[in-house]
Chains A and B, each alone.
Chain A
């Protein structure tokens, strides 16, 4: 029955990436000639088709079928000698889980982008690149082997590069796109190396076959491959120490930040580590390394987010922190907890970004939190949406983030990883603080900055009176509202003690032990321990509201951090500086040296040398062809004599 269903519905898997790809090609080829309305409809329809296909695949999957689209001639297949290298598509629970979020949130963000990017001269280019990203991301999550996943992986990197640098007239956008591309590229090297090792050791790169053979790998190979894949995951998911590209990537349009750099692409590392779970299950050390990288990034991101003043950079560091939770869950082999957090985070982080986008849009590009404030009244939707997002991110029950974060932290506690639990709990408290700091600075209190509240308000009203068509405004507001609802109730996907979407989708992939801990341990058994993160988050939220909330300045309560700490936080704890001092300067010096020595001496020298050699040879040969025919005849004669002499000599010496 399964096989029949797979054969019957496998085409759904191909439709999902093909529709955005087709839209991307159409928009890239004809986008300039199409009206903005046609461009928007093309992109949104394609993504809607993809989402419908994924939804259909999920329905098939939930009714018991495992979708597979093995390469059968119509798909690229490099040689029958290496079947493990083929690129096919598969739709198991994990792949569809990601595909569902990618297409669902992707659809909402495409709709939002129609309003946000309206009037931009690169409107068609934007949607060509965004649909291209969606194609690549779906290829990444639906591929049935490391080969296909790497194809998707590299393509999302390119799409991310294009979209970060979308406003390429801005130097910071150009620099940020290149930085993101280079840093994540190092991760691709990790995947390639790990793939080579796994291919050599296991003889296949298909996930299904790798899962069967992972137990038989030698320990060295498994550890090395696991750490290389962790490197790749950290690069893509902006984890320590490769997170530096993510805050800069906020130079792209805000919907791009919401889709690529919050909800989907940065979670590719989570997908990778979850997908390779048989490998990590075989080597607990590598698995624990994943968890610790996640925990460290989680705490780091939370700390730095508290000191950022750019609204999008706050959200960028919070993304780093939340992805850290996910990796922690996956590294603890509680993959379902980590993936649940991926699910909820996609909603509330996209929501926060889109709400921030509303603010930025209204303030005509202003992103500095210290120059905002008092927007609650003029932008009620953004205000309440941010409330929902902040509550969800802080993990205040019953908002969605509570359930998923609790699942991760309980997994850490129940597995005896107190250190991980402590880091996560501390980060939870900081999450409460920075979430509500953002909320308070942007929406509450009087307007800050040079213009004061009146200046910002005036800017807001001026933009509001800009007479935006109602349909465009609604295109931005509806996705925000939908995401706000989802952020609020998304936790219902896995209510403690009851089965939900999460176990139904993911348990066939990971087994029951991936839930929280050893089988039989009930959810919520930790008691007081379980409530500590919530309490800390609530305390952080209250502190933030107290320090930055309404009337804080009037009461003179505004706490000022020591200048050194403030500066360190604003600089992201100097990680970027360290990179600049070491890697960047080394590369720059190497480049200068190469330009001085290699370029001028070796390359120019060899090129000129080749030219001089050719000139020399031609002058010699030219002298041999000076024109006298009889000299040629003489040469012919002597050459013939030499040939015959050689023939005679060789037969004599042979016989």
Chain B
């Protein structure tokens, strides 16, 4: 009924899930590949978004607004996480010659 919904061929939820999982895998892989802390944080953002997409898709599937609310909470927490994460990045890499997480190994066992 909502005005935004476009009538047409129904899209299977598997398609949304597939997109969400692909995004998640890309983010996860990027997290392990990239050495820049900023890029790693961005990859984490990708994973948040993928998870949100899956949540919203499931909410639509079972007709419960709870999923959307949960995704909203996830966005909020992600914002907080980014704020803290960026603060840490500034704190850690500000005195260093370059922003490379491999340089940060002081805490190793």
Partners in one complex: yes
Which residues of A does B touch, CB under 8 Å?
Answer: 621-622, 624-630, 633-634, 637, 640
Contact with A along B83-109 (1 / 0, CB 8 A): 000000000000000000110111111
Is B108 within 8 A of A626, CB to CB?
A: yes
Q: Which of B56-108 contact A (CB under 8 A)?
A: 101-102, 104-108
- The complex places the Cα of A561 from the Cα of B75 at a distance, in Å, of 110
- A629-B104, A630-B34, A637-B31 given; name 6 further pairs at CB < 8 Å: A622-B109, A627-B104, A627-B105, A627-B107, A630-B35, A633-B40
What A residues does B105 contact at CB under 8 A?
A: 626-628
Q: Tell which of B29, B32, B35, B105 has the most Cβ of chain A within 10 Å.
A: B32
Q: Is B28 an interface residue (CB 8 A)?
A: yes
Interchain CB contact under 8 A, A621 and B32: no
Chain A residues with CB below 8 A from B102, complex form = 628-630
Which single member of A625, A626, A633 contacts B32 (CB below 8 Å)? A633
Decide if B32 touches A634 in the complex (CB within 8 Å).
yes
Bound form: Cα–Cα A46–B43 in Å: 83
**Complex alpha-carbon distance, A633 and B35, angstroms:** 11
Question: Considering the chains assembled together, what is the distance between the CA atoms of A625 and B34 in angstroms?
Answer: 19
B108 contacts across to A, CB distance below 8 A: 622, 625-627
CA distance A628 to B105 in the complex (A): 6
Complex alpha-carbon distance, A634 and B102, angstroms: 13
Contact among A624, A625, A629, A637 for B29, CB-based, below 8 A: A637
Contact at A629–B109, with CB atoms within 8 Å?
no
Min CB distance A551 to B, Å, is: 95
Interface residues of B (CB under 8 A from A): 28-29, 31-35, 40, 101-102, 104-109
**B40 surroundings in chain A (CB, below 8 A):** 630, 633
How near does chain B come to A644, taking the closest CB pair, in angstroms?
10
Interfacial chain B residues near A634, Cβ < 8 Å: 32
Residues of A within 8 A of B32 (CB): 630, 633-634, 637
Contact yes or no, B109 A630, CB < 8 A = no
A627 touching B106, Cβ below 8 Å: yes
Residue of B nearest to A619 (CB): B109
> A620 CB to closest chain B CB, in angstroms?
10
Q: Which residues on B sit within 8 Å (CB–CB) of A637?
A: 28-29, 31-32
Enumerate chain B residues within 8 angstroms of A624, measured Cβ to Cβ.
109
Q: Which A residues touch B33, using CB under 8 A?
A: 630
Q: Cα distance A634–B28 when bound, in Å?
A: 9
- In the complex, which residue of chain B has the Cβ closest to the Cβ of A626? B108
Q: In this complex, which of B31, B34, B35 has the most chain A Cβ atoms within 10 angstroms of its Cβ?
A: B31
Q: In the complex, A628 Cα to B33 Cα: how many Å? A: 12
Residues of A within 8 A of B101 (CB): 628-630
A–B Cβ pairs within 8 angstroms, 13 of them = A621-B109, A622-B109, A624-B109, A626-B109, A627-B104, A627-B106, A627-B107, A628-B102, A629-B102, A630-B102, A633-B32, A633-B40, A637-B31
Residues of B within 8 A of A640 (CB): 28
Q: Which of A624, A625, A630, A634 has the most CB of B within 10 A?
A: A630
Nearest-CB residue, chain A, relative to B101 = A629
Distance in angstroms from A428 CB to nearest chain B CB is 84
A629 to B40, CA, bound (A): 11
Q: From residue A230, how far is it (CB to closest CB) to chain B in Å?
A: 65
Contact assessment for A625 and B109 in the assembled complex, using a CB-CB cutoff below 8 Å: yes
Q: What residue in chain B is nearest A629 (Cβ atoms)? A: B101
Residue of A nearest to B33 (CB): A630
A634 and B32 CA atoms in complex are apart in Å by: 5
Q: How far is the CA of A630 from the CA of B32 in the complex (A)?
A: 5
Residues in B neighbouring A627, C-beta threshold 8 A: 104-108
* Alpha-carbon distance A181/B37, docked complex (angstroms): 73
Q: Which residues of A contact B104 (CB under 8 A)?
A: 627, 629
- Shortest CB-to-CB span from A638 to chain B, Å, is 9
Chain B residues, Cβ within 8 Å of A630: 31-35, 40, 101-102
Q: Can you name the residue of chain A whose Cβ is closest to the Cβ of B44?
A: A633
B28 to A, closest residue via Cβ: A637
In the complex, A634 Cα to B35 Cα: how many Å? 13
In the docked arrangement, what's the CA distance between A637 and B29, Å?
A: 8
CA distance A64 to B6 in the complex (A): 105
Cα distance A274–B99 in the bound complex, in angstroms: 91
Query: How far, in Å, is A321 (CB) from chain B's closest CB?
Result: 75
Inter-chain CA distance A634–B30, complex, in Å, is 10
Bound CA span A630–B31, Å: 7
Question: Separation in Å of the A343 CB from the closest CB of chain B?
Answer: 77
Question: Which residues of A are found within 8 Å of B34, using beta-carbon distances?
Answer: 630
A627 to B104, CA, bound (A): 7
How distant is the Cα of A624 from the Cα of B105 in the complex, in angstroms? 13
How far is B42's CA from A105's CA once the two chains are assembled, in angstroms? 93
Taken together as a complex, chains A and B put the C-alpha atoms of A626 and B105 apart, in Å, by 7
Which residues of chain A have C-beta atoms less than 8 A from B29's C-beta? Answer: 637
Distance of A621 Cα from B108 Cα, bound (Å): 11
Most buried by B among A624, A629, A640: A629
Task: Compute how far the CA of A627 lies from the CA of B102 in the bound complex, rounded to whole angstroms.
Answer: 8
Q: Which residues of B contact A621 (CB under 8 A)?
A: 109
Across-interface contacts of A633 in B (CB, < 8 A): 31-32, 40
